Structure 1
Amino acid sequence: MTAATSIACAATIGFDEAQAIVRKSCVPLGFEFVPLGKAGRRVLARDVVAGIDSPRRDCAAMDGYAVHSRDLAQGVIRFRLSGESGAGGPLPVPLPPGTAVRISTGAPMPPGADRVVMREYAMIDGKHVILTDRGGKGHVRRRGDDFARGQTLLTAGTRMDARAMVVTAAADVEGVTVWRRPRVHVMTNGDELVEPGKAAMQADTVPDSLSEALTLIARQWGGKLTGMSRATDRIDSLRDAAQAALSETDILVLAGGASHGHRDLARAALLPLGLRLAFAGVAMKPGKPLWYGRIGRTHILGLPGNPTAALTTARLFLAPMIAAMSGAGFASALRWSSHASSLALEEGGDRDQFLCGVTQGNTVRTIERQQASAQMMLAQADVLVERRAGVPAGPAGSVLQCLRF
């Protein structure tokens, strides 16, 4: 990162170069031990190792009757009932020849029994059970069949979703070591911005449509929201709001004030706080005003104020920043997929473009009238479609790279 001391020294750079700078700068923040109940969506910093065998002893995989396969091999079909084994109950006594134990799914097998005949293949006759069929498979889960004590079940880097929670809890693990979540503060600026629901009551105001959306993106990719703030178009207002957030923030996101007009003041407001710019302006469309820097250890990401441009750059930069700092890796948020274009393609422009698109099966259609300030098309778009600068025109069916929006 360059130790820029003024806005003028940060020139426009290419999209790939900008991503490389951010990727190199964003690393995991350190780890902590948390109870399992608070580990959801966190990323493991250490492997999860089984504390017990699963199952803990030989047990029934079906409701039925536990018998010895040697009796079945000798043609025995009538067995004397010798008790019952239930899940969570004590280990039954050894099973004598010619006897059977009623058993439920998950219940321990009696010593000597090695087969469960499903109840559908049995009839009760007083204190005896008569088998109408041998019942196919043995329906016994052997001790440690699923996993054994000391076995690594989940490796570092795994995100703790519902499936991982099941495995961890089943392994009798009460807590896990995870990467710390980056703390994110979202700040918008503009004299015209008001809280949604208040614009109709005041002339010449506009609802702040970005704050809630950006905080949702932060949460979705593993960030921990520490606050939202809104500043006016004054350097002191921007500086005060940013300074108040810095002490408890790993990523400060500023939406608006990222262009070159006389009221776009964000970078100028933060320079006295120690802002070191890495870049200011990226050769991409939408999102050319995007900028990035640091104040101490806090990452500062300046997004354009136009809604579609803001969400596009947030998806391409903020999401992988959070993923990298939370231990999942920068690339985990940038999984591109191939789709055939349903329309003929024009030649690429002078900047890399990331267009709002709609998928239909394995095809994709870019939305007409792409505008950085538009908002309605965001409700339709489910992918960003990559069109690199200068790429040649192509017919319908051409393969496009798409990123889930």
Structure 2
Amino acid sequence: MIGFDEACRRVVAIAAPLGAERIALDLAWNRVLAAPVIARRSAPETAVSAMDGYAVREADLAAGPTRLRLVGTSFAGSPHGGPQLEAGACVRIFTGAPMPAGADRVVVQEVVQREGEAVMFAERPSPARHVRAAGSDFAAGEALLKTGTRLTPQALVAVAAADLDTVEVFVRPRVAVLSTGDELVEPGQAANPPGTIPESVSFGVAALARAWGGEVVCRQRLRDDLPSLVRAAGLALDTADVIVVTGGASVGERDFSKAMFQELGLRLEFEKVAIKPGKPVWVGRVGARIVVGLPGNPSAAMVTARLFLAPILAGLGGARPEEALAWRAAALASPLGACGDRDCFHRGRSTFDGVRSVGNQDSSAQKDLAMADLLIRGRPAARPLAAGELVEVLVF
């Protein structure tokens, strides 16, 4: 058995990117850039108006109230801003429209009066010029996003604005989720036969895998029969980069999660970690594939998936795996009990006055698990903590 920090170091060490591919921008949300985004055009390409109003020459307003001739209109999308402005002329202009040659400011429409083909500027306009200069957002050839950036909705706006319809991203890791246990049946089928329970863990693990950039290619429920488990393991190794096995990680007579991979060449990175919940968790490799063994109890499975599966998927998908282990300090909103001789990971929740643990901390709990949005770390042999004291928390 190894400590939590050492287990994290070993996970980070094996989570290297799988490769790169070019994909359409429509498919790029939550992917990680494998190459920087370089702008193909400037934004804006030419000076444009930031307001609806009238494009004028500053010199024509210097003498105070004045009347200017209206000589054209500039709309957004126009190839140019209309005729070049000469002394005593102005152009009607709209937000995003190109500035006419010779104009150096926009006067907002609210402070002028239109009189047929003339416009009356009765007062001195504000100092604001309401002009977006060419390239004021970014210039052609500028690197807008660097390699390793995760493409959030905001980042996708910048990519599209750079006039790119494809991006080079790291390949998503393919994930197979195998749940084991004779007692498990599909949700909706647990009323018969007696003694069965709905299989719930694989749904949470698959969703967590997708959230951290994985592509779930298989989610399968298996009986505790070693020959059939070995066959399923072989098929999963053929189709997935990461295989997650839930259940069968302890030392019972039907705990086959490691055995099902042993004749296929399993090499363990670690088995058993000094944590609570989730002590039986293990990680190994079969060739280039990574296998993660999670406990069968729902809370324990989700905690260990967040702690170990998330950084593996982040790293394989091109992000820094350490980003999935970004602990921060937060103040307790209620007291927290002492830990024993292992790292404790309390399921917790953010509140307006800090963070607090959810009610039921049993490794099999499912109702209160649904209320948790963070993990609270308790160090080995940590004393009880009072409300207001700082703790380490991780987004769950």
Task: Write the deviation string for residues 342-380 of structure 1: whole angstroms up to 9, x where unpaired.
Answer: 344443201111111222234222234421111111022
Q: CA RMSD in A?
A: 1.3
C-alpha spacing 1:60/1:396, structure 2 compared with 1 (3 Å): closer
110, 117, 141: which is aligned to 2:100? 110
Alignment counterpart, residue 218 of structure 2, candidates 211, 222, 227: 227
After TM superposition, list the pairs within 5 Å mapping 1:1-400 onto structure 2. 12-75=1-64, 77-91=66-80, 92-136=82-126, 137-400=128-391
Q: Which amino acid aligns with 1:388?
A: R
The aligned length equals 394
Residue deviations 1:220-263 (CA, integer Å, cap 9, x gap): 11111111111100111211111111112111000001111111
Deviates more, 1:336-345 or 1:316-325: 336-345
Q: SS at the partner of 1:82?
A: strand
Distance (Å, rounded) in 2 between the aligned partners of 1:273 and 1:300: 12
Residues in 2 aligned to 1:341 and 1:196: alpha-carbon distance in whole angstroms: 36
What letter is aligned with 2:70? L
Q: TM-score, normalised by structure 1?
A: 0.94
Deviations 1:313-364 (A, max 9, x none): 0010111111111111111112212122234444320111111122223422
Q: CA deviation at 1:168?
A: 1.0
Report the CA distance shift for 1:39/1:306 in structure 2 as closer, same or farther (over 3 A). Answer: same
Alpha-carbon distance in 1 for matches of 2:389, 2:301: 28
| Rounded Cα–Cα distance in structure 2 between residues aligned with 1:61 and 1:170 | 17
Q: CA deviation at 1:90?
A: 2.4
Aligned partner of 1:125: which letter?
Answer: E
Confirm or deny: 8 A CA contact 2:377 2:391 kept in the other structure: yes
**CA deviation digits over 1:42-96, x for unaligned, max 9?**
0111111111111010111101111100111133521111011111112122112
1:393 to partner: Cα distance = 3.4
Q: Which moved more, 1:73-82 or 1:163-172?
A: 73-82
User: 2:72·2:83 contact (CA, 8 Å) conserved in 1?
Assistant: no
Partner Cα separation in structure 1 for residue 114 and residue 281 of structure 2? 76
CA distance in 2, matches of 1:348, 1:198: 39
Identity level (%): 47
Shift of 1:170: 0.8
Structure 1 stretches lacking a partner, 5+ long: 1-11
Write the letter of the residue equivalent to 1:135. Answer: P
TM-score, L = length of structure 2: 0.96
Deviates more, 1:29-38 or 1:215-224: 29-38
Task: Give the 3-state SS of the residue equivalent to 2:356 in structure 1.
Answer: strand
